Amino acid sequence: MDKAGIYLSVPFCRQKCSFCNFASEVHPFSQLPRYLHALQTEITGRARLWRMAGIPSSGDPPVNTIYLGGGTPGLIEPEALGKLLGTVRSCFSVDEEAEITLEASPENVTAENAHGWASSGVNRISMGVQSMVEDELRAVGRRHTAETVGRAFSVLKQAGICNLSVDLIAGLPRQTEQSWETSLEALLRLDPPHFSVYMLEVDDDSRLGSEILKHGQRYRAAEVPSEEEVAAFYSAAAERLRADGYEHYEVSNFARRGKASLHNEKYWTGAPYFGFGVDAHSYDGERRWANTDSLEHYLEKIAQAQPPVVDLKTLSAQEKLEERFFLGLRRRQGIRASRLNSDFDVDVHQKYSAQIHQFREAGWLETDGDWLRLTDSGWLFSNEVFAGFLA
Ligand code: SF4
């Protein structure tokens, strides 16, 4: 069996970024110790909680990735972080060389934190940079500057954490072709081994997204670039990063050789992962489940020794096949038709002949021997392609 990943959700942030559609909130920090305690209770009591929720235990597979995200886990005191990771290690068989990623904001990276993270075993930092242009950062409620990011890089490297990833968002208010290039070039000078480049998601789950949908003015919604501009920013970044030697290994992700995120690969390859905490999602190879996205509800459930699971679904063979299609197509490599044919006893070229024909005609999909993959222009329309393969 594939090795598993562990996801630990820490839904606390100092302030809510206007574009953020995560379950993270600006909860009072006085609640963080109680939350961390609940998280450890959920991890140690998982077998009983899962049984109560109707999730049969298939035994714990060995673990080779741990990812702390969901908000700003970089705000956890290093000592408390060490305890939390100690709990995971005492409950799961975690590889010595496991990839342990912590999401942090550049302004949370101090020498003390960085050394504390390193001694807890954290060996990868995913930094929510989003932009290196101050005007854009202020427009969405971020407090750092390009200088803060540069300082964070050197502090982390001095502490021995060199596996660094940065997030950039195309589509922020006030962003222009020139400011996008400024952000990209400033980050390239820092030479992070990994980039994630996202296009702004416009939906009702973020304040900025819902204002854009209402054609309102708040959160500088009227100053976001057009969809065409955002697509052009993304394409320009992809081209620039590839020219600089980064491998474009997934729709939104670029890495130096050997630096792809092992944890995120689990989401796209069907490997198991177990999430703990608010809004954490899990997959054991047969079923998917999700915890409540309300902090109060979560704390209440754990205090009552009840499972915080609110959604549980056992996947049918058809659903598994569809997932393999749309998750596999997120990766540069694409999907191997013969492998799906033997795993699901189908002929995918026959079953999906209409979709394959349609997306090849559109120039979004290509076949290469046994492989099916998105083309460069297909990356821009990936959601349309994925939807096409859903029943
Ligand atoms: S984008 Fe990150 S830092 Fe900002 S509110 Fe969302 S989780 Fe918190």
CA of 94 to the centre of ligand 1 (A): 28
Q: What is the pLDDT of residue 391?
A: 67
Question: Closest residue (by CA) to atom 2 of ligand 1?
Answer: 71
Contacts of 388 (CB under 8 A, 6+ apart): 355, 358, 359
Q: What is the pLDDT of residue 97?
A: 95
Residues 21-43: what's their mean pLDDT?
88
State whether the beta carbon of 320 lies less than 6 angstroms from ligand 1. Answer: no
68-82, 205-219, 233-247: range with highest mean pLDDT: 233-247
Fold designation for 317-388: Arc Repressor Mutant, subunit A (1.10.10)
Q: What is the pLDDT of residue 184?
A: 98
- Helix locations, the chain, DSSP H: 32-44, 46-53, 78-91, 111-120, 134-140, 146-158, 177-190, 207-213, 227-243, 262-269, 295-303, 317-328, 337-344, 348-351, 353-361, 376-380, 382-388
User: Hey, what are 170's tokens?
Assistant: 């195309």
CATH of segment(s) 4-269 = 3.30.750.200
Kindly give the number of the ligand 1 atom that is closest to the alpha carbon of 20.
Answer: 6
State whether the beta carbon of 16 lies less than 6 angstroms from ligand 1. Answer: yes
Instruction: Write the burial class of residue 5 (CB in 10 Å: 0-12 exposed, 13-18 middle, 19+ buried).
Output: buried
- pLDDT by residue (tens digit) across 175-210? 999 999 999 999 999 999 999 999 999 988 899 999
Q: What is the pLDDT of residue 24?
A: 64
CA of 353 to the centre of ligand 1 (A): 41
Residue among 15, 24, 131, 206 to mutate when testing ligand 1 (max atoms within 8 A of CB): 24
Residue among 72, 165, 167, 172 to mutate when testing ligand 1 (max atoms within 8 A of CB): 72
Asked whether the predicted pLDDT for residue 79 surpasses 90, the reply is yes
* Residue among 204, 199, 206 at smallest CA distance from 225: 199
DSSP state at residue 291: E
CA of 230 to the centre of ligand 1 (A): 21
- pLDDT by residue (tens digit) across 221-278? 999 999 999 999 999 999 999 999 999 999 999 999 999 999 999 999 889 999 999 9
Q: In what order do the strands lie in the sheet with 371-374?
A: 335-336, 371-374, 365-368
CA of 167 to the centre of ligand 1 (A): 11
Can you give the residue ranges of every domain in the chain?
Answer: 4-269, 317-388
CA of 76 to the centre of ligand 1 (A): 15
Residues 138-151: what's their mean pLDDT?
94
Whole-structure pTM value:
0.94
- Cα 241 from Cα 150, distance rounded (Å): 19
Q: What is the pLDDT of residue 281?
A: 97
Question: Closest residue (by CA) to atom 6 of ligand 1?
Answer: 20
